[in-house]
Amino acid sequence: MIAEAAGKNEETLEISEGMSVSDLKDQQIKKYQIPDPESVQLAVNQDLESSVELNEGDEVAFLPPFAGG
Amino acid sequence: MRYERQIKLNEVGSSGQARLHKASVLIVGVGGLGCPAAQYLTGAGVGKIGLMDHDKVSITNLHRQVLYTESDIGKPKALVAVNKLRQLNSEVQLIPIEESLNIENAKLWFSQFDLIIDGTDNFETKYLINDACILTGKPWIYASIYKNEGQISVFNYRNGPTYRCLFPSPTRENISCEATGVLGVTPGILGTMQAAEALKVLLDIGNVLSGKLKLINILSGTEQTLTIKAKPGEIELIKVNGIQPVRVNCEIGDKKRIYLDVREEFELPTVVSENVIHIPLGKLEERFEEIPNEQEVLVFCQSGSRSLKAIDLLKENFGFHNLKNVEGGIETIING
């Protein structure tokens, strides 16, 4: 869903000193106009956690809710 | 004899088989996910299985709900599923529940089973399952599909995280009500994995997918497992305040037409749109004046039968001649 909005599956980003996961989320949501940002969860290195500071080499996954069955 | 091949496994053994025989599972939604889950759990000899679905079999179900056949089209899924599964294993007590899950009936049904399998396809019911499981102390096996991707986790298992710990803010988006398309195998795989998690919980074996969310992409062949932490505040809120209904508005297929929704207020999914009038069947006699009587009005309910009654009533008592029934009910409307 988010990959569709962004038109890509992954992207390598430069991060600024002291950037947190939620900063990154805000930045990317704006950049790709991802709808309904509040419901989107982020996982840093496979851990669903939104308050930590990012380090070089971290992998961040964007997870939208979906409900099909 | 019947269970010989699974009893042979050290993790099962005859004590495990006896344990399964005493166990019970409620499957909410007997569709793409619920069918395979029901088939494997029936095969495995789970003692009691409840099959809850208010829907009828349609031809567009058959590519993924392979429990059903062409001759089942138009028949209630819960009843058809029970009849098929009984042929697979007559030792299992199979209970057809021809209802949709709602705030009124959720806790009562959940309290009669050991665990719940989520075979639903909408956010409202997933949050409802979550809250009712917290309140009745039952674990539940969640799965969701979007196109070629699936998610699965076990929630509310031994004080583990719940669906609200994963997604605390329900989506406000008018998405996923439209059918997005899916290969039949995708829910088939996820539903089968749900059955596997159910067996692990019931037998108390292996590593249950609690505190973890597994993501599977059928096309890329990749999977990821994310760690989820419990958010005690989210769980406590439900324990204190009870079920918190979540409403996600669905888009209506055709905005130019006028619709009359004769369902009760608690029925899901909610449809809020300028071109939809809501009057429950029981209130039509006092509120019929709110319905336009010149241009065509499409009348719908959950399945298409109450709306027929509504049309008869409005025609005979109040002379409406502009009403048309929506066959197949709400699903037809939101899927266009």
pLDDT along chain A (69 residues), means of 10: 86 88 90 87 87 87 88
Q: Does position B209 have pLDDT exceeding 70, yes or no?
A: yes
Tell me which of B134-148, B172-186, B291-305 is least confident. Answer: B172-186
Q: Are residues B86 and B54 in the same domain?
A: yes
**Chain-chain contact of A39 with B33 (C-beta, under 8 angstroms):** no
* Residue B286 CB-density burial (10 A; 0-12 exposed, 13-18 middle, 19+ buried): exposed
**Chain-chain contact of A68 with B144 (C-beta, under 8 angstroms):** yes
Q: Does position B72 have pLDDT exceeding 70, yes or no?
A: yes
Q: SS3 for B178?
A: coil
The pLDDT of B223-241, averaged and rounded, is 95
Q: Does position B336 have pLDDT exceeding 70, yes or no?
A: no
Q: Does position B175 have pLDDT exceeding 60, yes or no?
A: no
Q: Are residues B222 and B322 in the same domain?
A: no
Establish if B250 belongs to a structural domain: no
In the listed set B209, B241, B273, which residue is the last one of a domain according to the structure?
Answer: B241
Q: Are residues B86 and B188 in the same domain?
A: yes
| Helices and strands (DSSP H and E) totals, chain B | 12, 12
Q: Are residues B205 and B290 in the same domain?
A: no
pLDDT of residue A69: 80
pLDDT of residue B257: 83
**Exposure string (b/e) for B87-119, b if CB count within 10 Å is 16 or more?**
eebeebebbbbeebbbbeebbebbeebbbbbbb
Is the CB of residue A3 less than 8 Å away from at least one CB of chain B? no
Side chain identity, residue A51: S
The CATH code of the domain that includes B331 is 3.40.250.10
Q: Does position B177 have pLDDT exceeding 80, yes or no?
A: no
Q: Does position B335 have pLDDT exceeding 70, yes or no?
A: no
pLDDT of residue B252: 66
Rg over alpha carbons for chain A, rounded to the nearest Å, is 12
Strand duo B222-227 + B149-155: pairing: unpaired
Q: Are residues B117 and B216 in the same domain?
A: yes
Q: Are residues B266 and B162 in the same domain?
A: no
The pLDDT of B73-90, averaged and rounded, is 98
Residues of B identified as active-site: 177, 301
Q: Does position B326 have pLDDT exceeding 90, yes or no?
A: no
Q: Does position B108 have pLDDT exceeding 80, yes or no?
A: yes
**Chain-chain contact of A67 with B123 (C-beta, under 8 angstroms):** yes
Residues of B in Cβ contact (< 8 Å) with A46: 224-227
Tell me which of A6-15, B95-104, B140-149, B174-183 is least confident. Answer: B174-183
Range of the domain at B322: 258-335
Is the CB of residue A61 less than 8 Å away from at least one CB of chain B? yes
Is the CB of residue A59 less than 8 Å away from at least one CB of chain B? no
Tell me which fold the domain A2-63 belongs to: Ubiquitin-like (UB roll) (3.10.20)
Q: Does position B136 have pLDDT exceeding 90, yes or no?
A: yes
Residues of B in Cβ contact (< 8 Å) with A10: none
pLDDT of residue A15: 86
Give B139 to chain A, closest Cα distance, Å: 19
Peptide bond into B269 cis (omega under 30): yes
Q: What is the DSSP string of B220-281?
A: TTEEEEEE----HHHHHHHHHH-------PPPPS-TTSEEEE-S-TT-SS----TTEEE--G
Strand duo B212-217 + B222-227: pairing: antiparallel
Per-residue pLDDT band at B173 (split at 50, 70, 90): low
Query: How many domains are contained in chain B?
Result: 2
Give B29 to chain A, closest Cα distance, Å: 9
Q: Are residues B218 and B75 in the same domain?
A: yes
Q: What is the mean pLDDT of chain B?
A: 92
pLDDT of residue B251: 63
Q: Are residues B223 and B325 in the same domain?
A: no
pLDDT of residue B333: 75
The pLDDT of B130-139, averaged and rounded, is 98
Establish if B246 belongs to a structural domain: no
Q: Are residues B53 and B131 in the same domain?
A: yes
Establish if B155 belongs to a structural domain: yes
Q: Tell me the C-alpha to C-alpha distance, in Å, between residue A29 and each of A39, B72, B172, B305.
A: 12, 46, 16, 44
pLDDT of residue B187: 96
Q: Which residue has the higher pLDDT, B177 or A43?
A: A43
Is the CB of residue A46 less than 8 Å away from at least one CB of chain B? yes
Q: Are residues B114 and B53 in the same domain?
A: yes
Q: Which residue of B lies nearest to A45 if distances are taken between CA atoms?
A: B226
**Chain-chain contact of A35 with B166 (C-beta, under 8 angstroms):** no
Tell me which of B8-22, B73-87, B175-189, B222-236 is least confident. Answer: B175-189
Q: Does position B210 have pLDDT exceeding 80, yes or no?
A: yes
Q: Are residues B127 and B232 in the same domain?
A: yes
Q: Which residue of B lies nearest to A9 if distances are taken between CA atoms?
A: B220
DSSP state of B286: H
Is the CB of residue B167 less than 8 Å away from at least one CB of chain A? yes
B12-61 confidence digits (pLDDT tens): 999 999 999 999 999 999 999 999 999 999 999 999 999 999 999 999 99
Per-residue pLDDT band at B176 (split at 50, 70, 90): very low
Q: Tell me the C-alpha to C-alpha distance, in Å, between residue B242 and each of B136, B142, B213, B236.
A: 11, 20, 25, 10
Q: Does position B74 have pLDDT exceeding 90, yes or no?
A: yes
pLDDT of residue B179: 60
Q: Are residues B229 and B285 in the same domain?
A: no
The pLDDT of B78-88, averaged and rounded, is 98
